[in-house]
Amino acid sequence: MREGFLKIVMLTVSLALTLVLAEFVLRFAYPPGKKYYVWQPNLHATFNPDSTIFYRVHGRKHFTINEWGYRGDPFTDSTTNYLCIGGSTTECLYLDDKESWCAYLQRGLNKRPGARYVIGSIGKSGVSTREHYIQLKYSVPGLKNLNGIIIMAGINDLMKRLSRDSLFEHNFLFTPHIEDSLATHTLLFSDYTREDRWYRRTALFKLLQNAWHYFFPPDRKEMMQNNTGNIYLTWRDNRQRASMMVDSLPDLTDALNEYERNLDLIYEEAMRQHLSVTFINQAAIYSDTLNPYENGLLWMGGIGQYQLEGGHAYYTTKALQRGLSLYNERLAMFCSHRNIRCVDIDSYLPRDTSVFYDDCHFNENGARVLGNYLSGVIQ
Q: What is the pLDDT of residue 330?
A: 98
Sign of CA dihedral 95, 101, 106, 111: positive
Sign of CA dihedral 72, 87, 39, 357: negative
User: Are 171 and 279 in a shared domain?
Assistant: yes
User: Are 9 and 47 in a shared domain?
Assistant: no
Torsion of CA 257, 160, 83, 175, to 10 degrees: 60
Q: What is the mean pLDDT of residues 332-337?
A: 98
Q: Considering only CA atoms, which of 312, 299, 279 is closest in space to residue 356?
A: 299
Mean pLDDT lowest among 141-145, 191-195, 279-283: 191-195
| SS3 call for 300 | coil
Quick one: 293 exposed, middle or buried, by C-beta within 10 A (0-12, 13-18, 19+)?
exposed
Instruction: Report yes or no: 162 and 250 within 8 Å, Cβ to Cβ.
Output: yes
Mean pLDDT for the chain overall: 90
Percent of the chain predicted with pLDDT > 90: 77
User: Are 2 and 59 in a shared domain?
Assistant: no
CA gap 224, 206 in Å, rounded: 26
Q: Which residue has the higher pLDDT, 173 or 18?
A: 173
Rounded to whole angstroms, what are the CA distances from 330 to 196, 325, 333? Answer: 42, 8, 5
- Name every residue whose Cβ is closer than 8 Å to that of residue 364 and which is 6 or more positions away in sequence: 56, 57, 58, 95, 99
User: Are 103 and 43 in a shared domain?
Assistant: yes
User: Are 101 and 16 in a shared domain?
Assistant: no
Q: What is the pLDDT of residue 204?
A: 72
Measured from the Cβ of residue 281, the count of other Cβ atoms closer than 10 Å reads 24
Q: What is the pLDDT of residue 31?
A: 60
Give the length of the chain: 379
Q: Which residue has the higher pLDDT, 65 or 29?
A: 65
User: Are 166 and 206 in a shared domain?
Assistant: yes
Q: What is the pLDDT of residue 219?
A: 41
Instruction: Report yes or no: 68 and 41 within 8 Å, Cβ to Cβ.
Output: yes
User: Are 1 and 117 in a shared domain?
Assistant: no
Q: Is the confidence at residue 21, as pLDDT, over 70? A: yes
The range of the structural domain enclosing residue 17 comes to 1-31
Counting the structural domains of the chain, the total is: 2
Q: How far, rounded to the nearest angstrom, does the alpha carbon of residue 133 sit from its chain's CA centroid?
A: 12
Q: Is the confidence at residue 291, as pLDDT, over 90? A: yes
Q: Which residue has the higher pLDDT, 272 or 28?
A: 272
User: Are 236 and 370 in a shared domain?
Assistant: yes
| SS3 call for 364 | helix
CA gap 352, 368 in Å, rounded: 15
User: Are 288 and 150 in a shared domain?
Assistant: yes
- In one-letter notation, the amino acid at residue 31 is P
Q: Is the confidence at residue 7, as pLDDT, over 60? A: yes
- 3-state class percentages of the chain: helix first, strand second, coil last, to nearest 5: 45, 10, 45
Measured from the Cβ of residue 57, the count of other Cβ atoms closer than 10 Å reads 24
Each residue's pLDDT tens digit, 42-90: 999 999 999 999 999 999 999 999 999 999 999 999 999 999 999 999 9
Beta strands 276-280 and 341-343 are parallel
If you write DSSP's letter for every residue of 128-140 in order, what string do you get? -HHHHHHIIIIIG
Instruction: Report yes or no: 134 and 187 within 8 Å, Cβ to Cβ.
Output: yes
Instruction: Report yes or no: 115 and 78 within 8 Å, Cβ to Cβ.
Output: no
User: Are 214 and 184 in a shared domain?
Assistant: yes
Q: How would residue 180 be classed by pLDDT, with cut points 50, 70 and 90?
A: confident
Beta bridge partners of 45: 63
Q: How far, rounded to the nearest angstrom, does the alpha carbon of residue 127 sit from its chain's CA centroid?
A: 6
Torsion of CA 191, 195, 197, 199, to 10 degrees: -10
User: Are 222 and 164 in a shared domain?
Assistant: yes
Q: What is the pLDDT of residue 29?
A: 64
Q: What is the pLDDT of residue 30?
A: 58
Q: What is the mean pLDDT of residues 316-336?
A: 98
DSSP state of 177: H
Q: What is the pLDDT of residue 223?
A: 44
Each residue's pLDDT tens digit, 133-154: 999 999 999 999 999 999 999 9
Beta strands 61-64 and 44-47 are antiparallel
Each residue's pLDDT tens digit, 251-269: 999 999 999 999 999 999 9
User: Are 14 and 127 in a shared domain?
Assistant: no
CATH of the domain at 287: 3.40.50.1110
Q: What is the pLDDT of residue 212?
A: 58
Quick one: 173 exposed, middle or buried, by C-beta within 10 A (0-12, 13-18, 19+)?
exposed
CA gap 75, 379 in Å, rounded: 17
CA gap 252, 256 in Å, rounded: 6
Phi, psi of 225 (to 5 degrees): -95, 105
CA gap 300, 125 in Å, rounded: 13
Mean pLDDT lowest among 5-14, 111-120, 210-219: 210-219
CA gap 43, 65 in Å, rounded: 5
Instruction: Report yes or no: 222 and 236 within 8 Å, Cβ to Cβ.
Output: no
